[in-house]
Structure 1
Amino acid sequence: MTQARSTVAFSLVLTPMQVPEAVPSESELVQALTGSRTTGAKGPTLPSLVLHPGEPSELMVQIRNQSAAALQLEYQVQGDFPPEWCQFRTEGADLRSGQQIEGVLYFAIAPDYLEQTYPAEALPLRLDYRGRLTVLSINPTTGSRYLENRDFQIYLRPRSLYLDFLPDLYREVDFIGRFLKVFEQTFEPAVNTLDSLWAYLDPLTAPNALLPFLAHWVGWDFNAPLHPQRQRFLIRHALEIYRWRGTRRGLRFYLHLATGLPLGDDIEAESAKPIGIHEAFSQGLVLGATHLGEDARLGGGRPYHFTICLRPGPDHPIDEALVRHIVDQEKPAFCTYELEIHRPQLAPS
């Protein structure tokens, strides 16, 4: 008498780690719209995995050796999806009796996959795919082989953020998410602009084409030939320049923005600042207290006069015409000034 034995050498189980929220079928759409429910026997349901562009998805693979002998395993993944989408990773190929090993079918596609340009013959773009994992076991002792297949489904779906603003009922229909994605991508440029509107209104980050508008917005009509980055600083601080116009602080700050020289606020001595502004103070002619030839002389007074001393580094260029233009524009009309540019003396080589 011959005893019958099971020919099943191992068990193979696939478990999707990202399950679709809705079953992508037309019958589900009809049921959701009509409120009806179909009855009747259904075939076996295949493991289904949802795949979003730019987001990895995984199918967990569990293999248990149900035989009394150790097995050697070989794997093969097939499907109607591009092979570069999938990678199979496993703990190994040797499986002892009663042991279980795990593997992963790892899927990933480019974030802009659905936005790429496709030839006319490739449209409409395919979104549903089917695959198969084949595992072959070999008994090294007897040479016997056992083959096991498991089919699975892949649903390529764009992730729609608009579903978050709708009741959960709409998530039960796969078509709704794909339909809303059309509107989401249509309005996405406008939404992105609104989300980053602050960057368009900041002169330091705004596009060059928007700088004239921002300059006009703050009443900035300075047209000197400056580098665009210098212009950005001047437009951004225009109100502060207006606030301190006609003062030493305002003139120093303006020259700092236009020339790039440091303010030197941490330097107490005016004669050591990179932008020094020296004012000439005197009592002038005081009757009864002035001695001609000693502390006063005729025709020698220059009231409301100041001197500007710029002390740039050896490799720091200074546009003297620009500096004079700024001083003439910012100083009080009754003031006179002198401009001195002190450059460090290079040691002879």
Structure 2
Amino acid sequence: MQEPYQFFSLNKRSDWDKGSYYNLHMVDGGLGIHQTEKHGVYKVIQPGEMNGPEHPLDFAVGKGGKLFVLDEQAVVWSYDAENQYTEQLFRQGHELFTGGAMLASSGDTLYVADPFSERRMAAYSVSNSQQVWSARDWQGSPFYPLAIGTDSQKRVYTVIPLDMIIGVNGKEEVPEGGRIGVVQWSSSGEPLHVFQHDSLRLEQVTPAAELLKRYYTAVNTAGTVYLFDTSLKLVTCLQEDGRLSAQFSIAPKGAFAGLSIDTNNNIYIGDSRYVGPDEEDERFILKFGEHGEFQAKVSGFRGRTDKLLSGSRDWMYVLSGETGEITILEPQPRTLELPETLLPEGIYLSSALDTRSTETEWHRVQLEAAIPDETQVRLYYYTSDRNEQWLDNEYTDFSEYLNNAAIPLRDKLRATRDLWSEPITNPRDALLMNAKGRYLWLKLEVVGSERRSPVLKRLRVYFPKESLISYLPAIYREQQDEGRFLERFLALFGSYFQEMEEKIDHISKYFDPDAVHGQYLTWLGSWLAVNEDESWGEDKLRQLIRQAPDLYKLRGTRQGLVRMLQIYTGAEAYIVEYFQMKQMQEKSELRELLSRLYGDNPYCFCVMLPQDCIQTDKQRLIIESIINDQKPAFTECKLTLLQPWMYMDMHSYMGINTYLSEPTLLTLDQKSSMPYNTVLIDLDRDKRMDIHTRLGLDSELE
């Protein structure tokens, strides 16, 4: 047999933390690349697919992701994208609103704002299309809705000019300095609050019709209202108490439309520019932080945005006015890029592994990792008898240099690039060639894909170097080729023998029920003749294996049966044997009742368990099997389930299925009642309590 190896192991967080890692973090008990959620296309709904609206003008998202789509004829369609089912909510010619209406939805209510209709604001039930409420005036004058939004409390918000006049042409217009505000309406159509700020004023007289499609509004879960002015490219955030929480401008040039807020208060605004047929489409949805800091472009979607909504689970819905398509975006896991390389990867630099012996020949490395397809792990190593190395024109402690957070990773990679070995790809078990020295350092490059990342669970480095070639004649130990083929070939068998020897050395762990699981636990139970059933579960099976030696001594006894049932059910069984009933059966008035309940056979006993111990027929069969296996061979058993209430003249046991509550007056009928001082006594027991006191059996009411 080979001499035992020594090894260094990285298998828990404290081990990995001795080194430094970049774009990596602990996940699922191992080391993986940082990931985040980015929106990607879940489904693109074409107008023809909906089998109804040919030219969608507006839409809203209802409960369960159902879409409500408005077309040019003012027809509203309900479309279930998952089941591809379409139905009409409002047919052509309804005259409730026009094709210029704006939709919003919350719960089972569809809200419609229309500046061209008599009903400027209305709520409809989506179940029967009936109007719930409508509004035309605000503060005594007709209002002009410019945008609409809802929150989770079924409140609706409309952007309106707070100052409006009738111009010389008889049309509605906003005067110079006129205010723009957001009105909050209750679910019953009552105005609750007006969100406004002095900065939301128009610089010149503007016809109200020219303000359409200029404003968009959205509300977050905390009740903060967001207003986006596409003309000024200005986002204003107003808290529920009316205070201004943030206000920022969008720097990029171009045209924008749509506004949505996710559950983390990130702000999304769409690009609505026109792009020619020969131009590359670089229109993205822009993502901003809560306070207006630009974060990223939503790379999962390219195209024109005319309306942007957020749904449940932070899904986004995008309407393109060019094609009439509605694109559904879902948050999808994305691997973060390492800033130094702009690749979805992470790098780990270990501290020095010190053998405290110079010229140590390192043997091999084993890596336990989950490596999905299209990902890989590359391992580099460097060995030396000295910890100080010549780096950046000076001698420095190599371990300290690698783990110095103040030194940028780019500088570390540049300064050490000539020291590392050739990479070993996915080194589940690999030899360390020409690795000689007291110290060993490791560099791990964890390369992920766009959505997936390897996870490093455990890494072991073995030393000193041992080879089966040492057991061969001297002629085989002569290294005649640089590749040392024979040594590397025998290393395959050496690894197998080493693993086998380690299993033999640690064979005792397979006999510990607390250390094994799955099929090994079942196998261990078979050593003790434990017939495992999947309904037992591992926790109960471990208890059974631990107590098996004692249970075998008690087999066939009352105590052994109670303990077995308690392991399986978690409740203590109540057992009644014939000798306990024998004295009471001598009374003729109780003989028939006791025989019916407990039987009159001296070789028969009764096992009673709470009702909730047996939920299925399979559990009942297992309990009956346990009883048959543990009872004496010449006896019979009757299994009874105790209901969680009391019946007179049936199985009623204090503390088992019968409980004493606070004293109350018991009314027997409309004219009689039982007083508080009524006592249950035990006949022939000197009126002592707590000894078989059962109504109708051995006690009476006096």
In proportion to residue count, which structure has more strand? 2
- TM-score, normalised via structure 1 length: 0.42
- TM-score, normalised via structure 2 length: 0.24
In proportion to residue count, which structure has more helix? 1
